Amino acid sequence: MFDLNITTIIANIPALMIGFAFHEFAHAWVADRLGDPTPRSQGRLTLNPFVHLDLFGTLMALIYRFGWAKPVMTNPHYYRGDKRRGQMLVSLAGSIMNLIVAFVVMLLWYLTMLGVQGSQWSDVISLVFYSAVWMNLGLGIFNLLPIPPLDGFGVLRGILPERYDPQLQLIEQYGMIILIVLLFTNILGIVLYPAVNGIFYAYEKIILLILTPFLG
């Protein structure tokens, strides 16, 4: 999980900028569509990555490939309809966007390599695309974990009945400590790497299935 390879870190920079920008934009966009003016008023309804970057979360993403951006502030009281359902949709939006971006980037990667394969830039281009796919998958799956302050906890809060709110609030107090312990003991790596790799290979098979008729 720990990686200080300079080439990999450099390749991860555009990857995480894309991943974080689309992730946080998705949160802001869904909240905005539900009637919450907060993300728009704070300038978060944008794909500009520098608006969304969190220093520590960015460093974690560069080194560990699992990190986070600056959270989009929302106010569920503005959500139209069921507030808990709205909270769940906003929480899910970031990870779903990352998974979509990963698929699109992988498709572009395969199409690009058809034109540059064998050139002196092919390895560099391939590494950048690979990093972008891997980073988006990592962000998407990582943020779905039901651990505060990750998005998965917001999803869990939206699914569970209100009677469980006191227990969830108790867990929320220790969420960051739990997350840091899991990160530095590599427990998250043991859980997340198989999930990310599984989706990576599933995407690969789907894209090859799509492209095969056009390559014959």
Q: pLDDT tens across 159-208, in order? A: 998 899 999 999 999 888 888 888 778 777 788 889 999 999 999 999 99
Q: What is the pLDDT of residues 139-163, one digit of tens each?
A: 899 889 999 989 999 999 999 988 9
- Distance from first CA to last CA of the chain, Å, rounded? 39
pTM above 0.75, yes or no: yes
Coil vs helix vs strand at 194 = helix
Q: What is the pLDDT of residues 68-91, one digit of tens each?
A: 789 999 999 999 999 999 999 999
As a 3-state breakdown, the chain gives helix, strand, coil percent values, each rounded to 5, of 75, 0, 25
Distance (Å, rounded) from C-alpha 73 to C-alpha 28? 8
Distance (Å, rounded) from C-alpha 132 to C-alpha 102? 7
For the chain, give the percent of residues with pLDDT over 90. Answer: 62
Active site residue ranges: 24
Distance (Å, rounded) from C-alpha 140 to C-alpha 144? 7
